């Protein structure tokens, strides 16, 4: 249980560092708000997301409908709240896919180098050659537009970034004296990777994962905006923003609400990631 106590201490130290930083506090509060909204969506939402009020179409914000209603008479506030759950789910799962695959591939490429490095990074360079949104569009178009395929597409698109980040960290760590010492006493490559390399590259990896969450949420919103992400009647900030285009002058609240939440969520994760980088690696701080 010693490792668990150490982990708790490290997490507490990181949180303490974030709270000391003004940017970190803002980012952490913003992320926590999104998490609370996502987890508590059934209790926070005031109406069913698919319920249509025929006599209340395109109603402006009021006591009954905090963010107004859309062209079908659905409560925008409730759809925004459940949209937070969709965005967070897509972000966490897709980043989990890309982070796991990128971590493994990056370690293999950075530690073994040679042909292994050439093959892995060659594939990553091919993926990097395509704009991320276009590659995601292609993958979703091939697999079909739904929640699962959206997460898979975003996970594939984000993998090269993690692979490069981990590879660079591994190459840097591998040149340290303690790695040379471990090799000299005959430790196996697997043991060196698990015991000495992997733990020492977690800081940049964690920062990259935090920043990747904002990118994943933005990509999901973009795909849904184009009609290739989350499909109706499920709420998504991107699809809500797309549907609002026809009513920009008549009902501007339809565009303001999802736009504000997309911007606020992405900004919060970016601020948290920047502050986390300073806390985990103070040499980056100017």
Domains in the chain and their CATH numbers? Answer: 36-284 (1.10.3720.10)
Q: 121 pLDDT exceeds 80?
A: yes
Q: How far apart are CA 106 and CA 208, in angstroms?
A: 13
Burial profile 185-224: b = 16 or more Cβ within 10 angstroms, e = fewer: eeeeeeebbeebbbebbebbbbbbbbbbbbbbbbbbbbbb
Q: How far apart are CA 260 and CA 211, in angstroms?
A: 19
Question: Model pTM greater than 0.85?
Answer: yes
Instruction: Look at residues 102, 81, 83, 103 and name the one whose alpha carbon lies nearest to residue 91.
Output: 83
More reliable by pLDDT, 231 or 163:
163
Q: Which residue has the tokens 């709420």?
A: 235
Instruction: List, in sequence order, every residue forming a beta bridge with 69; answer none if it has no partner.
Output: 75
At residue 286 the predicted structure's pLDDT band, cuts being 50, 70 and 90, is very low
Q: What is the pLDDT of residues 213-263, one digit of tens each?
A: 999 999 999 999 988 888 888 889 999 999 898 888 888 989 999 999 999
Q: How far apart are CA 1 and CA 181, in angstroms?
A: 28
Distances (CA, A) of 139 to 105, 128, 163, 177, 286: 21, 14, 20, 43, 40
Q: How many CB atoms lie within 10 A of CB 228?
A: 21
At residue 193 the predicted structure's pLDDT band, cuts being 50, 70 and 90, is confident
Q: How far apart are CA 162 and CA 157, in angstroms?
A: 10
Q: How far apart are CA 268 and CA 109, in angstroms?
A: 32
At residue 88 the predicted structure's pLDDT band, cuts being 50, 70 and 90, is very high
Structure tokens at 180: 């040379």
243 DSSP 8-state letter: H
Instruction: List, in sequence order, every residue forming a beta bridge with 75; answer none if it has no partner.
Output: 69
Q: How far apart are CA 77 and CA 261, in angstroms?
A: 11
Q: How far apart are CA 151 and CA 220, in angstroms?
A: 8
Q: How far apart are CA 77 and CA 246, in angstroms?
A: 19
């Amino acid at each position: 249980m010693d490792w668990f106590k150490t982990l708790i201490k490290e997490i507490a130290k990181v949180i303490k560092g974030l709270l000391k930083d003004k940017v970190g506090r803002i980012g952490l509060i913003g992320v926590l708000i999104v998490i609370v909204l996502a987890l508590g969506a059934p209790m926070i939402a005031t109406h069913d997301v698919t319920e249509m009020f025929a006599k209340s179409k395109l109603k402006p914000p009021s006591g009954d409908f905090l963010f107004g209603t859309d062209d079908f008479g659905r409560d925008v506030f409730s759809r925004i709240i459940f949209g937070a759950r969709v965005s967070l789910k897509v972000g966490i799962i897709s980043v989990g896919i890309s982070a796991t695959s990128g971590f493994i591939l990056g370690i293999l490429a950075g530690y073994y180098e040679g042909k292994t490095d050439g093959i892995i990074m060659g594939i990553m360079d091919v993926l990097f050659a395509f704009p991320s949104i276009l590659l995601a569009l292609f993958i979703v178009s091939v697999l079909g537009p739904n929640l699962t395929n959206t997460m898979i597409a975003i996970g594939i698109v984000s993998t090269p970034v993690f692979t490069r980040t981990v590879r660079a960290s591994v190459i840097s760590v591998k040149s340290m004296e303690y790695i040379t010492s471990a090799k000299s006493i005959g430790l196996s490559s697997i043991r060196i990777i698990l015991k000495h390399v992997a733990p020492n590259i977690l800081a940049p990896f964690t920062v990259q994962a935090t920043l990747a969450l904002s990118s994943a949420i933005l990509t999901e919103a973009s795909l849904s905006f184009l009609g290739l992400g989350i499909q109706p009647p499920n709420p998504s900030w991107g699809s809500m923003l797309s549907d609002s285009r026809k009513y920009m002058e008549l009902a501007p609240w339809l565009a303001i609400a999802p736009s504000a939440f997309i911007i606020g969520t992405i900004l919060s994760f970016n601020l948290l990631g920047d502050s986390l980088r300073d806390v985990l690696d103070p040499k980056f701080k100017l």
